[in-house]
Structure 1
Amino acid sequence: MKSGKLLLGLISGVAAGAVAGILFAPKKGKDTRDAISQKSDNYIKGANRSINDFTDSINHKVEALKAKTKANLADTKSKEKVNKAKAEMHEMKAS
């Protein structure tokens, strides 16, 4: 418990120091605000990409599982092979 509080305190201190350093930098205020805005936009875009990649991966894994289930329940060999191929395709896209 104490180490968690210590870690939180260190992270908070680092963040406060970074903010103070940016705000008291020798650049003009407008330049600093523009830089902060641009960096935050980049972080948001990166987070959105990561979220989209993650959801796409999950969707492909679900589709692969559906196709495997259909392959196991298929009444003909051709349907089984088609569904196994679909499962493999989704597994490749998920990775």
Structure 2
Amino acid sequence: MNASKVLMGVLGGVAVGAVAGILFAPAKGTKTRKRIMKKGNNLKKDMKNKFEDVYKTVSTKYDSVLDQAKEFAGDHQEI
């Protein structure tokens, strides 16, 4: 199974669980809405950080492969 699908599934489950827990907690509507907004914002920040990490990793690997391909092409042009 693809790691990104697993990550998205876990994050989605955490989000649904958090929202369900907040909705069923005995609190005023105003307080509940604030909690939902806070959880949503935290989830958004976490997702953004995860995607930035994945982007950096992929970008670094892409640059590495590109450099290796250029070296390989340069080495074989001299032959």
TM over 0.5: yes
Root-mean-square deviation (CA), in Å? 2.7
Query: AA paired with 1:35?
Result: R
Counterpart in 1 of 2:54?
54
Change (3 A) 1:58 1:20: closer
Change (3 A) 1:21 1:42: closer
% identical equivalent positions = 38
- Once the two structures are superposed, the pairs formed by residues 1-95 of structure 1 within 5 Å of their partners are 22-74=22-74
Query: AA paired with 1:22?
Result: I
Using the alignment, how far apart are the partners of 1:73 and 1:17 within structure 2? 52
Using the alignment, how far apart are the partners of 1:39 and 1:16 within structure 2? 11
> How many residues are treated as equivalent by the alignment?
61
Query: AA paired with 1:72?
Result: F
Q: Secondary structure at the match of 2:25?
A: coil
Counterpart in 2 of 1:81?
none
Counterpart in 2 of 1:4?
none
Identify unmatched segments of 5+ residues in structure 2.
Answer: 1-14
Using the alignment, how far apart are the partners of 1:16 and 1:69 within structure 2? 44
Aligned-residue offset at 1:59: 1.1
Q: Secondary structure at the match of 2:56?
A: helix
Larger radius of gyration: 1
Using the alignment, how far apart are the partners of 2:29 and 2:66 within structure 1? 55
Identify unmatched segments of 5+ residues in structure 1.
Answer: 1-14, 76-95
Q: Is the 8 A contact 2:23 2:32 kept in 1?
A: yes
